[in-house]
A and B are shown apart, each in its own frame.
Chain A
Amino acid sequence: MTLYAFYFLTFLAIISALLVVFSKNPVYSILYLVITFFAIAGHYVLLSAQFLAAVHVIVYAGAIMVLFLYVLMMLNLNKEDEPHKPTLVKFAAVLAAGILLVVLIGSLKGASVIQQKTGPEIGLVKNLGKVLFKDFLFPFEISSILLLAAMVGVVMIGKDEPKSKTESE
């Protein structure tokens, strides 16, 4: 049963990831990316990382994808006539990515299998919260500073330039 769920989620993730790259309309690409993220959240549940699955759905499917779609629709880019690379470059891109895939799989194929360990549930909020606020307290605070800096930077980048400066360019 678990194996069938794994195969289904894997199929869904890979097919929708391919459709992200190959669909013509950017809005469809982003919507397929949402499907990929939900499939990855399903994988997290299968790996018994329930807290991360919830956070993944909230952060990625809830926040980041809304941001993507918002920018796409604000810039009015949901057209299908965007410029494409020449066929030769596309062929080279597919070839290079295929070679990367073959090399990665070939190098990982002979790796020795790790011994699986069992123990108490680690993916729940109780255990993760203890680890996060005991061992990783300082990085946690640093990441809050990172988010604050990103917020200030976005406001600085996104605000309108003064008119005189744009006219002089």
Chain B
Amino acid sequence: MKIPIEFYIWLSTVLFSIGVLGVMFRRNAIIIFACIELMLNAVNLLMVAFSSYLNDAHGQVFVFFIMAVAAAEVAVGLAILVMMYRNTKSIDINILNRLKG
């Protein structure tokens, strides 16, 4: 394998930062979910890279579990979004400021 591990570290750092940027930048709740998926994938990519470099299969099994948790999280989150849309006719997250105590 010729690609140094640093390249993968930098790539996943950039992808993670873009995910953080998207969460802070947008008001559309679905896009915020998509950016959370982007961050999860950056972490997955780093874990697969280290697992491949250290020749240890445990990292790839962990990525498998993260995918299962992400699938469950997206299903529940989108159900909550549909519920929110049904009540407020909008998925703008600024409407949710009524949650404050």
Contact = CB atoms under 8 A, between A and B. Distances in A.
Chain A, interface residues (CB within 8 Å), range: 35 or more
B53 A117 contact: yes
B22 A20 contact: yes
A97 B24 contact: yes
A160 B37 CA distance: 28
Given A33-B37, A119-B55, A136-B61, A52 B18 contact: no
Contacts of A128: 57, 60-61, 64
A85 B94 CA distance: 9
Contact of B7 (A6, A72, A158): A6
B48 A52 contact: yes
Interface string A7-40: 0001001100110110000100110010011001
Contacts of A21: 18, 21-22, 25-26, 31, 35
Interface in B1-45: 1-11, 13-22, 24-28, 30-31, 33-35, 37-38, 41, 44-45
Interface of A: 2-3, 6, 10, 13-14, 17-18, 20-21, 26, 29-30, 33, 36-37, 40, 43-44, 46-49, 51-52, 55-56, 59-60, 63-64, 67-68, 71-72, 74-75, 77, 82-85, 90, 92-94, 96-98, 100-101, 104-105, 108, 113-114, 116-119, 122-123, 127-128, 131-132, 135-136, 139, 143, 146-147, 149-151, 153-154, 157-158
